[in-house]
Amino acid sequence: MIKSNQRELGLWKGAGDMYKTLLVDDEINILNGMAAGIPWEKWGYEVIGMARDGLDAAEMIEANCPDVVVSDIRMPHMDGVELMKYLNNNHPEVKIIILSGYNDVEYLNMAIKNGVVEYLFKPTDIDEFEECFARLKRRLDDEKFKREERDRIYKQAGDNKLYRQSHYLRQMVKGLKEEDEQLNIDFSDYFMITGEVMEDNEEGGNVELLTLKNRMVQYCNMRESYYQVHFFLDDRERITGIMSVPKGIEDWKKFAFKYIQSLHSELLDLYQKKSIMGISSLCHNKEELPAGYEQAVICLEQRMMLQTEPIGIYDDAKEPDRKDQIRFPAELMWSYIENYETEKLRLSVAQVFAQIGSQISSDYSFVDRLCLEFLYDAAEYARNRRNISLAQIMGEEKKQYRDIYFLKNLKKKQEFMEEVLISLLKAWKGKEENKGHVGNLADYIRNMVDKEYSANYMSLDYIGEKIKKNPSYISKIFKLETGKNFSDYIMDKRMDKAKEMLKDFSIKIYEIAEATGYADVSNFIRVFKRYTGLSPNEYRNVLMKQADKQEKNSVEN
């Protein structure tokens, strides 16, 4: 299958420093549109191929090692969910962008768990695409620089043995088999350590921070001549260590905690930077390296989430969870929003997060799910009760639902939820206060648009002249009342009419263009294809096939 699809769709290679990109979608028109309609080279990417489903994509990935995969969710054979799981398990370095028509917490949650870097909802305009790929390029550039910088620092130190040992351990903790490297580590009893330098900047990853971490690693390795220990930076630039427990030590946890506590204090004194550290359970052979590493990471992330004690041991994190009992009190919080009780709303959010912080958990991913599900419920509630778009409110404040995943501790997640819900409360209050005059005016404008949307003169300026109001004011109140941009509303009306007219196979395309407000038929075709993913003729062909099938079925019956 893959070879025929490669001939049909094209699989090619480019040159230079462009990031290699694979496009995956079961709709050939969408694939061709993405490949031809986006200035990939200008943005720093090259499309190396296109696949019609996850299975074809997997073969192309194995053969061509792309940097980026852009994939639809719903596809035959292997869908986007299975593809992202495959990539996360086999090629975690590949960046995944999901295009989905489904605003669903389940899909979003699976996407984040499987390392998806962007989750875009269809239809996506070119500006959103450009912003997305600009963010991704900055991330790819940063990761490339950090890899080169890490290697340069090790090599510059002239310690090739240290470099080889660190590379060996980086591969081993990922479960990858490597040729044995001689290490001064007793693997019969050892524990893993992971640490992170605390920075105010959520994104982190800057050059100065990376250089600082490399210095810390060098210090950790140079300071120790008595115990068997080795430190390195893992693939996410976390300070990572492996340490043997000396023979004769009866309480290994007490020994480990005291050693790491001393190291933690020295790093703070030397570099004036706070750090947080996690310690694994006791391990007993090389095969337990990946598990020990994961335990240390979980413990580290727990310490970072709670922002309490700077050092934690995994064994102490395995207390029973009661997370299933935690819920946002939805009905109570709706009443606070409707009655404009800001402080009560803020207190309600704080109480939920206090409940989360009061218990120990080895996995805090449930917090993100809890928050997302409540925000989705809030969005539906606001839309149904007041025609308020929560996504629009968040967009105006440069926020997205997925931001919750990238906030590193409970305090920041709590602040995010408070800010979003208080913004919703303000929008609710503003809607109520302006419901009279503004609502009547918006209804008048909407009625005018509904009657004249097919005229090519329909615009904000035209409406402004009619009602003697500023176009920007009209745009603002129209969006406030309807939840849609003025231009999007007209577009939806015109495209709905065009799709209805296409059902009548006797009507010419240019006649449909004129009837929906487009003087230039080529402009109509371009807009229709961007809106639906199909040209008018392609859309009509689909309708004709459906009609033929229905007619055939009726004859047979």
Structure tokens at 217: 């690693």
**Distance (Å, whole) CA 200 – CA 113:** 24
Where would I find the H helices in 119-186? 126-156, 160-173
In 10 A of CB 497, how many CB atoms? 16
Are the C-beta atoms of 326 and 352 separated by less than 8 Å? Answer: yes
**Distance (Å, whole) CA 321 – CA 307:** 19
**Distance (Å, whole) CA 401 – CA 391:** 8
**Distance (Å, whole) CA 316 – CA 254:** 12
Q: What is the DSSP string of 67-96?
A: SEEEEES--SSS-HHHHHHHHHHH-TTSEE
pLDDT at 555: 64
Length of the chain: 557
Which pLDDT tens digits describe the chain residue by residue (557 residues)?
333 343 334 343 333 478 999 999 888 888 888 888 889 999 999 999 999 888 889 999 998 889 999 988 878 778 778 888 888 888 888 999 888 765 555 666 666 666 677 777 666 667 778 888 998 898 888 888 877 776 666 566 555 666 677 777 877 887 766 666 667 788 899 999 999 998 755 544 466 788 888 889 888 888 877 888 989 888 888 999 999 999 989 899 999 999 999 999 999 898 888 899 999 999 998 888 899 998 898 888 888 888 878 898 888 765 545 666 788 999 999 999 989 999 999 999 999 999 888 776 667 778 888 898 898 889 888 887 877 888 788 878 888 887 888 888 899 999 999 999 999 999 888 776 655 455 567 777 888 888 888 888 888 888 888 888 888 878 877 777 777 788 888 888 999 999 999 999 899 999 999 999 888 888 899 999 988 888 999 989 888 888 777 777 666 65
Distances (CA, A) of 242 to 61, 123, 183, 286, 294: 33, 48, 10, 11, 13
- SS3 state at 225: coil
Where would I find the H helices in 272-387? 289-306, 330-338, 342-357, 365-386
Query: Smallest Cα–Cα separation from 241: which of 196, 305, 180, 181?
Result: 196
Give pTM, 2 decimals: 0.54
Preceding peptide of 123 cis, ω within 30° = yes
Burial class (CB in 10 A: 0-12, 13-18, 19+), 528: buried
**Distance (Å, whole) CA 197 – CA 143:** 18
pLDDT at 306: 82
* Amino acid, single-letter form, for residue 380: E
Q: Which residues pair with 20 in a beta bridge?
A: 46
Chain centre to alpha carbon of residue 134: 14
Are the C-beta atoms of 48 and 12 separated by less than 8 Å? Answer: yes
Coarse DSSP helix, strand, coil percentages of the chain, rounded to the nearest 5 percent = 60, 10, 30
> φ, ψ for residue 71 (rounded to 5)?
-135, 145
> φ, ψ for residue 308 (rounded to 5)?
-110, -100
In 10 A of CB 70, how many CB atoms? 26
> φ, ψ for residue 435 (rounded to 5)?
-60, -35
pLDDT at 100: 75
Distances (CA, A) of 414 to 350, 369, 405: 7, 13, 12
Distances (CA, A) of 66 to 28, 45, 58, 91, 169: 20, 11, 11, 10, 25
| Beta-strand relationship, 239-244 and 229-233 | antiparallel
First to last CA, the chain: 36
In 10 A of CB 325, how many CB atoms? 8
Query: Smallest Cα–Cα separation from 387: which of 343, 325, 446?
Result: 446
| Beta-strand relationship, 19-24 and 68-72 | parallel
Q: Residue 193: in which H helix or E strand, if any? A: strand 190-197
Q: Residue 35: in which H helix or E strand, if any? A: helix 28-37
In 10 A of CB 505, how many CB atoms? 9
Are the C-beta atoms of 120 and 128 separated by less than 8 Å? Answer: yes
Are the C-beta atoms of 229 and 255 separated by less than 8 Å? Answer: no
